[in-house]
Structure 1
Amino acid sequence: MITVERLTKRYGAHPAVDDVSFTCEPGTVTGFLGPNGAGKSTTMRMICGLTPPTTGSATVGGTPYRRLGNPGRHVGVLLDASAQHSGRTGREVLALAALTMGIDRREVPRALDRVGLNATAGKRRVKAYSLGMRQRLGLALALLGDPAVLILDEPANGLDPEGIYWMRGLLRDFADRGGTVLLSSHLLREVEAVADQLVVIGAGKVVAQGGKAELLAQTGTLVRAADPAALATVLERAGLTGTRTTDGGVVVPAGSEVIGRAAADAGLVLLELRPAGSGGLEQMFLTLTAGDSVKEAVR
Structure 2
Amino acid sequence: MKTLTTYCFIALFFSFHCFVYGQFNTLIPIQPKKTENLPIVEKTDETKDLKQKSDKKFWKAIFNTTSKADLKKELDSLKTMIKENSENNNKKWRIQKIQDSLILQRQSQVVINEQKRTSNLTKNGFENETGELKLSKIAMPLSRPVSVTSPYGMRIHPLLGRARMHNGIDLKAHYENVYAVMDGMVTATGWDPKGGGNYIKVKHYNRFETSYLHLSEFYYRTGDLVKAGFIIAKSGNTGNSTGAHLHFAVRENGNYINPIRFLNDLIEANHWLAASY
Looking at both structures, which has the greater relative contact order when contacts are Cα pairs under 8 Å and sequence separation is at least 6? Answer: 1
Return the index of the structure with the highest Cα Rg.
2
TM-score tier after normalising by the smaller chain length: under 0.3
